[in-house]
Structure 1
Amino acid sequence: METYLQGFMMGLAYVAPIGVQNLFVINSALTQKKSKAFLIALIVIFFDVSLAFACFYGIGLLIDKLEWLKLAILLVGSLILIYIGQGLIRSKAVLKESDSTDISLMTAITSACVVTWFNPQAIIDGTMMLGAFRASLPHEAGMYFILGVMSASFTWFMGITTIVSLFKKVFNDKILRIINIVCGAIIIFYGSKLLINFYNMIINRI
């Protein structure tokens, strides 16, 4: 039980900071019907848990051994984040639940995958945080720890979706527009920072 709670607390520390995943879930809860918002939250949870498993059981090993993979993740991930950010800034703020704002299931799955698996910061943070705990835990305790992480992911993203969905009437198009601009700017900042890291790694290799 102690190991499970440890995993739960670490899982919250892993997903709680404002990042691309949280911004995507919040934006979906604001603009989509409740049923679609909760479905999107579940899709994000699936990809988040799968990434946590990969980080916990060894993706960091591949990144450490294959520098080209780290470079590729940094480059592709940074460009995708910048693209997502500028898309948010340019998007029209419409809170009305209509066909024009109802995104397709395939778009929801693709977007959830991108903001999770193509987010270098999430991969690096997950590898460092979860990988470090994996090394410190007895083999038999690993499963309890990762179950705690999974529970934290489910609790956090479903909680955000529930709260935002319940109080989204407080938001209007102007507020959503401001949120989109701020969120877009934050995402572009993350992407630019990762692009600079990629550039510095290339320069250091020359």
Structure 2
Amino acid sequence: MISYLLPFCAGFALSASLIVAIGAQNLFVLRQGLKKEHVGPVVLFCGLSDALLITAGVSGMGTFLKAVPGLSTGFALAGTLFLAWYGVKSLQRALQQARRQDSTIFSQPQSVPLGKAVATVAAFTWLNPHVYLDTVLLMGTASTTQPVPLRPFFAAGAASASFLWFAALGYGARLLQPIFARPRAWQILDLLIGCIMLLLAALLFWQSILHIS
């Protein structure tokens, strides 16, 4: 039993250390959690995506990605455009909220259909080249330190950390509801998200340019 638990814990710890960081995907899950909108499907999609990528990495797909460097560059450029677009939209929301505060009427952030929410989180997940570096390449490389029969337990531990994190982020966000009952809090959040998205887009674009050159 202990021989199975050790690789599980190793995968869990490594995955947790990689995933707990401010990023586009985490910010989107947090925002959906604060809105209490489509939290379950969004959390499930993020967890399943990570599980699929981790399994691919442990199965040896990292070798294929290393052999096709242009694939990473393509994802980086597509991700740059998407992050920049979403960043601008967030800043526009913050500006609109500032205008609403001049009146006595304030409405909660607009809801989005389930399909659009899932499509958005899919773009944040699959157009981010760093997710392939973390889950496929790094997790795949780390799994080689485990005996082949124990690698599925390593992958299971890593995937469990991902599911636990997204569930805590999405459903735990409601604890902040008293703060976000105020219009100013939503404005600050959208302003922060917009700035971070644009910064991530700039960094991703710069990395893709360096990779091409």
Tell me which interval the TM-score lies in, with the shorter structure as reference length.
0.7 to 0.9
After superposition, where does 1:93-104 map in structure 2 within 5 Å? Answer: 96=108, 101-104=110-113
The alpha-carbon distance between structure 1 residues 68 and 159, as it changes in their structure 2 partners (threshold 3 A), is same
Quote the residue 2:103 is aligned against: none
Instruction: Kindly provide the CA deviation profile for residues 130-188 of structure 1, in whole angstroms up to 9, marking residues without a partner as x.
Output: 02212222111110011111111111111112221133122222112111111221121
**Is contact 2:54-2:140 (8 Å) kept?**
no
Mean alpha-carbon deviation: is it higher for 13-22 or for 166-175?
Answer: 166-175
Quote the residue 2:196 is aligned against: 186
1:153 lines up with 2:162 in the alignment: yes
1:51 lines up with 2:50 in the alignment: no
Quote the residue 1:60 is aligned against: 62
Give the superposition deviation at 1:95: 7.0
**Is contact 2:80-2:205 (8 Å) kept?**
yes
After superposition, where does 1:52-201 map in structure 2 within 5 Å? Answer: 52-91=54-93, 92=96, 96=108, 101-171=110-180, 172-201=182-211
- TM-score, normalisation: structure 1: 0.86
Q: Which has the larger radius of gyration?
A: 2
**Is contact 1:57-1:134 (8 Å) kept?**
no
Quote the residue 1:21 is aligned against: 25
Query: CA RMSD of the aligned region, Å?
Result: 2.0
1:4 lines up with 2:13 in the alignment: no
Letter of the structure 2 residue corresponding to residue 141 of structure 1: L
- TM-score, normalisation: structure 2: 0.84
| Separation of aligned partners in 1, 2:52 and 2:209 | 29
Aligned-pair identity in percent equals 23
Structure 1 gap ranges (5+): none
Runs of 4+ in 1 over 3 A off after TM superposition: 92-95
| Separation of aligned partners in 1, 2:59 and 2:88 | 34
**Is contact 1:55-1:130 (8 Å) kept?**
yes
Decide which of 28, 40, 43 is 1:41's aligned counterpart.
43
Instruction: Kindly provide the CA deviation profile for residues 61-88 of structure 1, in whole angstroms up to 9, marking residues without a partner as x.
Output: 2221112212211211221122222222
**Paired residues, number:** 198
| Separation of aligned partners in 2, 1:183 and 1:200 | 26
**Is contact 1:31-1:101 (8 Å) kept?**
no
Structure 2 gap ranges (5+): 98-105
**Is contact 1:85-1:185 (8 Å) kept?**
yes
**Is contact 1:51-1:116 (8 Å) kept?**
no
The alpha-carbon distance between structure 1 residues 59 and 194, as it changes in their structure 2 partners (threshold 3 A), is farther
